């Protein structure tokens, strides 16, 4: 299936000079969505994750569907102040400034086998911060899966040395 044909390009969003890859058109296509989840599942099944971790917000969409498909748990990683119980936090650098991500302290136990899933990897900052957060609490990162990878930004170079798959490359 040609997933690129289902991904809409939005020029100059969210600011001039950026070409945004919009997955909402992929999500509304039942066959494209099913193909994406099935293909991700087939490519990561041998990694035997116990949990899928998805980052806010589009990582929730693909991560939760993939967890359901694989029969494993789903764990959200959120922006600060969104989770109601005690959290682990990681701070990471952005192009201009810093941001934080959080996970519930009781979401995983040390030794858990984790697969990080998101809709897109660009510079890799969010995925790298999530990987650090999980490794800091003693989890075993078994891999990362993305629907879209922006190759020129080389985000995968910021990730730990684990298997990484992307369904579409730009």
Q: How far apart are CA 170 and CA 159, in angstroms?
A: 19
Phi and psi angles of residue 81, each rounded to the nearest 5 degrees, phi first:
85, 5
11, 14, 18, 26: which is closest to 147 by C-alpha?
26
What is the DSSP secondary-structure string of 132-161? Answer: HHHHHTT-EEEEEEEEEE-GGG-GGGGS-S
Catalytic residue annotation: 58, 95
Give me the torsion for CA of 152, 163, 37, 23, rounded to 10°.
-20
């Amino acid at each position: 299936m040609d997933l690129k044909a289902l991904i809409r390009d939005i020029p100059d969003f969210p600011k001039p000079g950026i070409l945004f890859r919009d997955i909402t058109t992929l999500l509304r296509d039942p066959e494209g969505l099913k193909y994406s989840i099935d293909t991700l599942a087939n490519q990561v099944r041998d990694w035997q994750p116990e949990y899928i971790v998805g980052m806010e917000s589009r990582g929730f969409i693909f991560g939760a569907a993939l967890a359901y498909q694989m029969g494993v748990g789903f764990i959200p990683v959120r922006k600060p102040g969104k989770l109601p119980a005690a959290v682990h936090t990681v701070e990471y650098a952005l192009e201009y400034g810093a941001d934080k991500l959080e996970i519930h302290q009781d979401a995983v136990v040390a030794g858990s086998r984790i697969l990080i899933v998101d809709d897109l990897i660009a510079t890799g900052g969010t995925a790298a911060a999530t990987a650090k957060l999980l490794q800091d609490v003693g989890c075993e990162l078994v891999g990362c899966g993305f629907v879209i990878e922006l190759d020129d930004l080389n985000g995968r170079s910021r990730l730990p040395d684990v298997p990484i798959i992307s369904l579409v490359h730009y």
